Amino acid sequence: MVPQPIGAHVPEPPGRRAPLGEREFARWLTGRLAEFLGRSAEDIDPRTPFAEYGLDSVAALSLYGDIEDEFALYLEPTVAWDHPTVEALARCLADEYARSGGPARADGSAEV
C-alpha cells in the first residue's frame, strides 16, 4: 500500500462539538509521548520535562509536525523546547487552538 500524504485533520473531539481544551491536548500529548518513549501513558507525569524522560532535542523538534498534522496548528519547531512538559505544552496548544478559532474547526471545517 502506498501511503497517502495525510493532510491536517482534526480528531473526533470528545463529546463531539466540544472545543479542544488543555485536558484533551494533555491526553493526546501523553499518548504521543508514551509512544515516543515506549512507556505506558500512566507512567508519564505531566509536569516532568520531556528531556528527563530521555526525549532528545531533535526528537522533540519532530513533535511540532505531529501537532500540525493532527490539529492544523502551525507552530515553531521549537514549541516543545519552549513548553517542555505535557502540562505546559497542552496549555500552549489550547491557547493557540482557541486563538485560531478552534471550536469552528472541530466540527470538520478545518482548512489545510
Smallest distance, other proteins to C-beta of residue 49, A: 5
Cα(31)–Cα(38) distance, rounded to whole angstroms? 10
Pair 92, 21: CB distance under 8 Å: no
Smallest distance, other proteins to C-beta of residue 82, A: 7
Cα(97)–Cα(35) distance, rounded to whole angstroms? 23
Among residues 10 and 88, whose Cβ is nearest to other proteins? 88
- DSSP conformational letter for 59: H
Amino acid in position 37? L
Single residue of 20, 44, 60, 73 touching other proteins by CB under 8 A: 60
Which chain residues interact with other proteins by CB under 8 A?
Answer: 1-3, 5-6, 32, 35-38, 49-52, 54-62, 64-65, 69, 77-78, 81-82, 84
